[in-house]
Homo-oligomer: A and B are copies of this chain.
Amino acid sequence: VTISREFGSGGRTVGKEVAAKLGIPCYDSELIERIAKESGLSKEYIEKYGEYATSDRLYDNAMGGRDRDWQSVADKMWLAQKKVITDLAEKESCVIVGRCADYILREADNCLTVFIHASDDQRADRIVSVYGQREEAPAQRLHDKDKKRKAYYELYTGTQWGQADNYDLCLDSGKIGIQGCVDIIARLYQTCQQSA
- Mostly, the A contact residues are mixed
Q: A163-B162, A163-B163 are in contact. Are A176 and B168 (CB under 8 A)?
A: yes
Q: Is the CB of B168 within 8 A of A175?
A: yes
Size class of the A contact interface (CB-based, 8 Å): 20 to 34
Give every chain B residue within 8 A of A6 (Cβ-Cβ): 165
Give every chain B residue within 8 A of A187 (Cβ-Cβ): 184, 187
In chain A between 160 and 188, which residues have their CB closer than 8 angstroms to a CB of chain B? 162-165, 167-172, 175-176, 180, 184, 187-188
Q: Is the CB of B172 within 8 A of A167?
A: yes
Give every chain B residue within 8 A of A169 (Cβ-Cβ): 169-172, 176
**Docked pose: A108 CA to B169 CA in angstroms:** 23
Q: A169-B171, A170-B170 are in contact. Are A188 and B176 (CB under 8 A)?
A: yes
Q: Is the CB of A180 within 8 A of B191?
A: yes
Q: How far is the CB of A173 from chain B (nearest CB, A)?
A: 10
Q: Is the CB of B165 within 8 A of A117?
A: yes
Q: Is the CB of A164 within 8 A of B168?
A: no
Who on chain B is nearest to A162 by CB?
B164
Does A7 sit within 8 A of B, measured CB to CB? no
**Docked pose: A163 CA to B170 CA in angstroms:** 10
In chain A between 130 and 185, which residues have their CB closer than 8 angstroms to a CB of chain B? 162-165, 167-172, 175-176, 180, 184
Interface centre among A117, A165, A187 (most CB of B within 10 A): A165
Q: How far is the CB of A110 from chain B (nearest CB, A)?
A: 11
Interface residues of A (CB under 8 A from B): 6, 112, 115, 117, 162-165, 167-172, 175-176, 180, 184, 187-188, 191
For this complex, 10 residue pairs linking A to B, each with C-beta atoms less than 8 Å apart, are A112-B175, A115-B164, A162-B165, A164-B167, A167-B172, A168-B176, A169-B169, A170-B170, A180-B188, A180-B191
